[in-house]
Structure 1
Amino acid sequence: MDSKIGVCVIGAGRAGLLHANNYRRNVPNAKLVAVVDPNEENAKHAVKELEIDKYYLNYQDALHDDEIDAVVIVTPTNYHKEIAVAAANAGKHIFCEKPMAINEDECDYMIEAAQKNNVKLQIGFMRRFDQSFNLAKEAIENGEIGDIVLVKSLTRGPSVPQEWMYDVERSNGPLAEVNSHDIDTLRWLTGGEFKSVYAIANNYRCQDISEKYPDFYDNVVLVSEFDNGKQGVIDGSVSVKYGYDARVEILGTEGVIFVGETYDKQISVCNVETGSKRPLTKTWRSLFKEAYLEEDIDFVNCIIEDSEPSVNGHDGKMAVKVVNAGNKSIKTGDKVILD
């Protein structure tokens, strides 16, 4: 193996380019070798921006490239299992963006393939690498707010979903695409597994696609109970327009912790015409920029040190399990008990 880990990013969209830029310029001991995208225009744009020479139009060709030691999968969710299993069988280490897969069986295939071929499998829950979230976790472990009672986590995005995301059968809906991070946050901060969920959802802002995609929802609320007795609430939205919003409230028996805010910069502008105003956070790419870099560094370090990823296949699978339980609750109107 080269002294640097050769990385290929599969998927040249917004998140793919964020990871690719990290590996190209900011991750020690890593070398961005290539990108993969079935759209040649996207692929050419990516290699130009990244100042590299190599791209592929299908991932199978990339897996035959001996310069590539690891892949970063940033494609629509329904392709994750196929690509991850093929990568593992080709001896490539795997970083897979959330959500890990469509269902638990697909997650199991991915985990088994990684174990069988002795390659790393890390899932992209970057909030575990964010400084503020880690300070909250440390405060919990230090007992600063007593015993945890309730964790409330919200993610609201301003973007209009891509076409494939409207198809809940293909994407698992906003619970997967938006709230996988919140699900993992609740597991991580409570230290428990989801015992039951009850979810309600509706489409308020994307009415123009309601006839073609009647199952799509742009707003969801999920209430949960954990096996250790703790409680959780998740609030998820897309197309909110006002900005990107990711916040957590952790209630304990002796205090509370607040993580995150809606403001992008520590500045307020005041005048007689507009009153007081502060710029809002517009995108997850800026809010969690450092966290994405830290998780990319962690992935490479795991390969070099032959250590277990901080966020592994089991963590990804548990989030997928909750997504499917939540979607079932939305459809049936019932509380769903998890095995």
Structure 2
Amino acid sequence: MNNRKVGVCVIGSGRAGMIHARNFRSSVPYAKLVAVADPHEQTAREAARELELDHGYTDYRQALMNDAVDAVVVVTPTVYHKEIVVAAARAGKHVLCEKPMAMNPEECEEMIQACAEAGVKLQVAFMRRFDESFLEAKRQVEEGMIGDVVLVKSLTRGPSTPQPWMYDLKMSNGPLAEVNSHDIDTLRWFLGSEFSSVYAIGGNYRNKDVADRYPDFYDNVVLTGSARNGKLGVIDGAVSVGYGYDARVEILGTEGVIFIGQTHEKTLVTANGGKQLTRPFMNSWRSLYKDAYLAEDTHFIACILEDRQPRVGGIDGKMAAAVVHAGNASLARKAIVQLE
């Protein structure tokens, strides 16, 4: 690895975008945050101020014209990913794209092709693959510590109310994409296989005030899947649960089981006169996966400087998008959907 620094622009200055921006600002070796972009002028200005940048772009195209920008991190609503990633590739910028990669597999393929033709790196931000517990679980699976994997169950439940655009499945593809893309990738990774079929059921139980305007929105979903290698998967997803951020995985083998995840954010336990023990529940994915985000960002820069392919690439994003597409089709049809 040489000693030059890779200039990074983060496109999208929301919650996840600022995690990446702060990492590249001060914590990622051989990286230099040179710009941020957000279509909302005040958001771009505030981000630039916090990150001690001269200014924030309101048009990502202007950032792509900046010669100091070698790579971009795309953290916008999913519907804009393809346009931005293709433009970045054609401008010769390496790309770290947040999940979900795109709205459908066809868009993902366009993004993969654009990056390949431009000779730039394309990494998809499935940060759980960089989490120490997930990596240790993968090692144990590969070493046969639980025999052959039979079933992988993964759940993610978020506490917050969706952003307004997320209610529109045409903009977001719903919770299967926005919340459960990570679970889909987790199942693919630990099952060691693509999905052959899925069946999904769901409903809107906590956001009934939007039911008339967005009748197909669901805030709870269960997806079961069969893998091509005969193994099984289950995904449990929810938003607006209120009680905290909940992300756990169970990997069942022929000779054992592995559990990943924790529900507590701190080791603090309180007992008082009511003779009850209380412990703070995990508050946010930003807390649970803080180290994984940094490892992911560090890996991206290393791949650029060492000219190697990212651990999580476009194909991983594309296959997750295919499962989201099939899952939403299953919800609409109330039927099993086969994947090609």
* Deviation, structure 1 residue 313: 0.2
Runs (4+) off by over 3 Å: none
User: 1:2 and 1:59, CA in 2 relative to 1: closer, same or farther beyond 3 A?
Assistant: farther
Following the alignment from structure 1 to structure 2, what is the Cα–Cα distance between the partners of residues 36 and 2? 26
Counterpart residue type for residue 120 of structure 2: V
Which residue in the other structure is 2:247 paired with?
246
SS of 1:55 mapped into structure 2: coil
Match of residue 297 from structure 1: 298
Partner of 1:285: 286
Q: In the aligned structure 2, how far is the partner of 1:64 from the partner of 1:51?
A: 20
Quick one: distance in 2 between partners of 1:2 and 1:324?
Answer: 43
Matched to 1:132, the amino acid is: S
* Residue 77 (structure 2) aligns with: 76
* Whole-angstrom CA distance in 2 between matches of 1:212 and 1:274: 47
Structure 1 residue 49 displacement after superposition: 1.2
Tell me the TM-score normalised to structure 1 length: 0.99
Q: Which residue of 1 aligns with 2:194?
A: 193
Shift of residue 2 of structure 1? 8.7
Q: Secondary structure at the match of 1:228?
A: coil
- Residues in 2 aligned to 1:281 and 1:112: alpha-carbon distance in whole angstroms: 39
Q: Is the 2:92–2:118 Cα contact (8 Å) retained in structure 1?
A: yes
> Per-residue deviation at 1:267?
2.3
Pairwise mapping of residues 1-339 of structure 1 onto structure 2 (< 5 A)?
3-273=4-274, 275-339=276-340
> Which whole-Å CA distance do the structure 2 matches of 1:274 and 1:124 have between them?
44
Is contact 2:3–2:30 with CA below 8 Å preserved after alignment?
A: no
TM-score (normalizing by structure 2): 0.98
Quick check: 2:45–2:55 contact (8 Å CA) kept in 1? no
Q: In 2 relative to 1, CA 85–274 (structure 1 residues): closer, same or farther, beyond 3 Å?
A: farther
SS in 2 for 1:144: coil
**Mapped partners of 2:27, 2:254: distance in 1:** 41
Percent identical among aligned pairs is 62
**Structure 1 unpaired stretches of 5+:** none
* Displacement after TM superposition at 1:55 (Å): 1.4
Alpha carbons 2:158, 2:244 under 8 Å: kept? yes
Q: Report the Cα offset of residue 272 of structure 1.
A: 2.5
Displacement, 1:120?
0.3
Task: Please list every run of 5 or more consecutive structure 2 residues that lacks an aligned counterpart in the other structure.
Answer: none
Q: Is the 8 A contact 1:38 1:57 kept in 2?
A: yes
Residues 103-130 of structure 1 deviation map (CA, whole Å, 9 limit, x = unaligned): 1110011000000000000000000000
Counterpart secondary structure, 1:139: helix
Q: CA deviation at 1:265?
A: 1.1
8 Å contact 1:194–1:322 — kept in the other structure?
A: yes
How big is the shift at 1:250?
Answer: 0.5
For 2:275 and 2:103, the matched residues in 1 are separated by: 47
In structure 2, give the amino acid aligned to 1:147.
D
- Measured in 1, the distance between the counterparts of 2:105 and 2:216 equals 21
Residues of 2 paired with 1:2 and 1:332: CA distance?
55
AA of the residue aligned to 2:285? W
CA contact (8 A) 1:33 1:54 kept: no
Note the alpha carbon deviations across 1:187-217, whole angstroms, 9 max, x for none.
Answer: 0011011011000010000111111111100
Deviations, residues 276-300 of structure 1 (Å, cap 9, x unaligned): 1111111000100000000000000
Give the whole-Å Cα distance in 1 for the aligned partners of 2:31 and 2:206. 42
- Counterparts of 1:99 and 1:167 in 2: how far apart (Å)? 15
1:240-285 Cα shifts (integer Å, max 9, x gaps): 0000010000000001000001111122111232601111111000
